[in-house]
Amino acid sequence: MAARSGQKRQPAALTRREKVESRETAILSAAQKIFAARGYGKTTTAEIAAAADVAEGTLYLYYKNKEALGRAVLADFYRRVTENARRGVEKCPATREKLEFLARHHLKNVIRERRIIELVYILEREMDSYEGGQLYQMNRAYVAVFDNVLREGVARGEIDATMTPWITRDIFYGSLEYAMRSMLIRDRQKSLEQVVSELVDLVMRKTSPTEDNHPSFANRTGDAADRVLDAARRLERLLAAQETKGEYK
């Protein structure tokens, strides 16, 4: 029977599927917020269930354990940052603006949700199974945005065509990871724009043709990548030591 004139229509009851999706979204959202605030290790499924307003037993109907929930949170994080990276790059007309956006986007998201990023190291201890796994695929989708910008820049003549793409990518993201840790430890938030500007300068710098008595650009870039990786490892150990002492929160 049609509703009478002037009578408000009552909202339709949620279907079973909508209820399931609503609860799953609530659990995932609660887990993301608590993991980001307290870290994975200090969070319990009981706390997540309470924050999602469901019984703990109900939580296990959606995620068989805390690890499965952690993986879902990590996958959702990658989905969000990858989609936002793609959208942001599409709005930038020039190569430099695209690279600056990606650098700024990466730094801000990793700093804000660094405890979510920690799930990579906590949940992916078996690195032998990394290639071809879910984390590998998520990383590939994320850095593919940078790879596309790099190819476009080379095609436009704005980036040196002799640069080795994977080395350039590793320097770009390796430098950002190192900078992020330095900014957190030394509280150098104001240096973000300086990091972005100088890193993009490095990527877009034109190189002169190499001479026989000079190392190739690829070799010089490889040396830089090794230094970035070594510095990142040293800093990772420092962070772990500070975490143990309760200095890094």
Q: Is residue 182 part of a domain?
A: yes
Tell me the pLDDT tens digit for each residue of 47-95: 999 999 999 999 999 999 999 999 999 999 999 999 999 999 999 999 9
Tell me the pLDDT tens digit for each residue of 132-175: 678 889 999 999 999 999 999 999 999 998 889 999 999 999 99
* Rounded distance between C-alpha atoms, residue 69 and residue 75, angstroms: 10
* CATH number, position 57: 1.10.10.60
Indicate the number of domains in the chain: 2
Q: Is residue 132 part of a domain?
A: yes
60 and 101 belong to one structural domain:
no
Report the amino acid identity of residue 168: T
Q: Is residue 40 part of a domain?
A: yes
**204 pLDDT exceeds 50?**
yes
Percent pLDDT > 70 in the chain is: 71
Q: What is the pLDDT of residue 218?
A: 43
27 and 111 belong to one structural domain:
no
126 and 55 belong to one structural domain:
no
Helix, strand, coil % (nearest 5) of the chain?
75, 0, 25
Q: Are 92 and 98 in contact (CB under 8 A)?
A: yes
Q: What is the pLDDT of residue 118?
A: 87
172 and 222 belong to one structural domain:
yes
**207 pLDDT exceeds 60?**
no
211 and 92 belong to one structural domain:
yes
**128 pLDDT exceeds 60?**
no
59 and 82 belong to one structural domain:
no
Q: Name the H helices within 114-191.
A: 114-123, 134-155, 165-186
157 and 84 belong to one structural domain:
yes
